[in-house]
Amino acid sequence: MTWLRRRLLTALLALPGAAAIPAWAGEDGRTYRIFMILWRGETGAEQGFRAQLHASGLKVEYIVRDADQQAERIPAFVEEARGLKVDLVYTWGTTVTVEVAKLLRDIPIVFTVVSWPHKAGLAGPDNLSHRNITGTSHTVPIDLQVRAIQAYRRFERLAVVYNPIEANSIATVQSLRDQAERERFTLIEEAVPLDADGRPRVDDLPNLIARVSLREPQFLFLPPDSFVGAHAEVITREALRRHLPTFSSTEPPLRDADALFGLVAHYSAVGRLAGRKAEEVLKGRPPGEVPIERLSRFSLIVQMRVARQLGFYPPVAMFGYAEVLP
The tens digit of pLDDT for each residue in 107-150 reads 999 999 999 999 899 999 999 999 999 999 999 999 999 999 99
Q: Are 83 and 71 in contact (CB under 8 A)?
A: no
Summarised one tens digit per residue, pLDDT across range 223-234 is 998 899 999 999
CA distance 275 to 135: 9
CA distance 59 to 28: 9
Query: For the chain, how are helix, strand and coil distributed in percent, rounded to 5?
Result: 45, 20, 35
Number of domains in the chain: 2
Regarding whether 199 and 308 lie in a shared domain, the answer is yes
State which residues form the domain around 251: 142-264+299-325
CATH number of the domain residue 238 falls in:
3.40.50.2300
SS3 240: helix
Regarding whether 184 and 146 lie in a shared domain, the answer is yes
- Res 226: pLDDT: 85
- Res 29: pLDDT: 77
**Block means of pLDDT (10 residues each) for the chain, length 326 residues?**
46 38 47 97 96 97 96 97 98 95 97 93 94 96 97 98 90 95 97 94 96 97 92 98 97 96 96 98 97 94 98 96 96
Regarding whether 209 and 98 lie in a shared domain, the answer is no
- Res 224: pLDDT: 92
Regarding whether 127 and 180 lie in a shared domain, the answer is no
- Res 168: pLDDT: 81
Classify burial at 163, counting beta carbons within 10 Å of its beta carbon; exposed 0-12, middle 13-18, buried 19 or more. Answer: buried
Regarding whether 308 and 243 lie in a shared domain, the answer is yes
